[in-house]
Homo-oligomer: A and B are copies of this chain.
């Protein structure tokens, strides 16, 4: 399906003021496709299209944050109030957070009180927590209800709830006491009681928990939605599977960027400004310039042996890079295993033995390669120096690479900050020192 072609037709239809046919075509599309088409339309005309769509609030919710805010500025106020009233509660709170104070002040009084309170409540949770992710559009039941009453209640809640496939059973204090799937409801006899068919051991997350843990819980238990409870155990929202999947993807992107030495930033790489990219990249680069001075200090300490054996410089980048490369492998494997929860902090020590063994084998293989080259380029002593150095730098690289994520975590940083550039710099400094120290023991000064 070519969304651009549809957008083109839509633009022509808007110009000719003949929207009926074009709108019919949009009816057949999924809301996210309509949203992608809408951004290709003149923003002044976007409302003309949106107001004719019965699922306009869903379409609007699929727009990028920036597009939402810029359209919200143009829309007639009464229409905007109506649109925001219809939006899914989590998306609505996110939009509200992005509006400036004057826009909020203009908008909030026009909303119904329940919506106003819902927005304020959801917007109050810290970014990155379950609370900031959850929606309040969920379906609840009571344990004393019969199955037929429950089905009738769900029919009433269906238009507003994000999902009715799981309904949450609460008591008089809104405490979460069970969960019922729509599957079990339609299989049960109409007169059975919810309390008898519900699953009472409900998997849930606390509202202050990290969104990464929310995503992991949804993934582990294959949930359609995860109920979110407050400290008293009262149900305050749900996180649906699709939002959990988005979080997992965003967290992977974040770890990926960190692994390349880029600081965290929210949002797409494609649309990021030069200014933001510069800011997110300059920190590590400049820090590592100073970190790499340590390699220089090592070199100047051994200047005599270098001056007497210039062949050492030939192999310098190769040797120090090898340590960094091996270390980057170790760090990447470890950072990802920690992120997926496959490895936990207390596994560090038991993994160290295996890592050292792998490093020894890798180092010996690479030592064979470099010592042959060293023999032809230099002599047997140079060859020996290179072989010994290679085994040492690779082993140190691997141990540093696999330990740094744990150390950073202990110090309160994200293990993913053990980036390839950081590992490379640490391994360079130690590699230079080891290489030149070994050389100084075997070669003439």
Chain B: minimal CB distance from A423 (Å): 9
A220 and B270 contacting across the interface, CB-CB below 8 Å: no
**Interface of chain A: mostly helix, strand, loop or mixed:** helix
| CB contact under 8 A between A310 and B303, given known A278-B361, A365-B286 | yes
Which chain B positions have C-beta within 8 A of A274? 354, 357-358, 361
Complex partner residue of A318 from B240, B268, B295, B333, CB under 8 angstroms: B295
Chain B: minimal CB distance from A170 (Å): 19
Most chain B beta-carbon neighbours within 10 Å: one of A159, A253, A313, A320: A313
Q: CB of A207 within 8 A of chain B?
A: no
Q: CB of A299 within 8 A of chain B?
A: yes
Q: How large is the interface on A (under 10, 10 to 19, 20 to 34, 35 or more residues)?
A: 35 or more
> Which residues 253-283 of A sit at the B interface, judged by CB distance below 8 A?
253, 255-257, 259-262, 268-270, 274, 277-278, 281-282
| CB contact under 8 A between A219 and B332, given known A268-B342, A306-B313, A316-B317 | no
Q: How many subunits of this chain does the assembly comprise?
A: 2
Which chain B positions have C-beta within 8 A of A343? 269-270
Tell which of A8-16, A27-35, A120-128 binds the partner: A27-35
A277 and B424 contacting across the interface, CB-CB below 8 Å: no
Q: Interface 1/0s, chain A 215-253, versus B by CB < 8 A? A: 000111111100000000000000011101110110011
| CB contact under 8 A between A256 and B255, given known A270-B347, A328-B421, A329-B262 | yes
Q: CB of A203 within 8 A of chain B?
A: yes
In Å, the complex CA distance between A246 and B28 comes to 30
Q: CB of A38 within 8 A of chain B?
A: no
A286 and B366 contacting across the interface, CB-CB below 8 Å: yes
Complex partner residue of A245 from B201, B245, B314, B373, CB under 8 angstroms: B245
In Å, the complex CA distance between A33 and B341 comes to 15
B245 and A362 contacting across the interface, CB-CB below 8 Å: no
A322 and B292 contacting across the interface, CB-CB below 8 Å: yes
- Across the two chains, which residue of chain B brings its CB closest to A222? B242
Chain B: minimal CB distance from A261 (Å): 5
| CB contact under 8 A between A342 and B269, given known A183-B164, A286-B366, A365-B282 | yes
Which chain B positions have C-beta within 8 A of A261? 325, 328-329, 332
Complex partner residue of A289 from B182, B248, B366, CB under 8 angstroms: B366
Task: Show 23 A/B contacts (Cβ-Cβ < 8 Å), sorted by A.
Answer: A165-B183, A219-B242, A224-B224, A224-B241, A252-B256, A256-B259, A256-B336, A261-B325, A269-B334, A269-B342, A270-B351, A277-B358, A278-B362, A281-B362, A285-B366, A292-B321, A296-B377, A317-B432, A321-B425, A321-B428, A325-B421, A328-B419, A329-B421
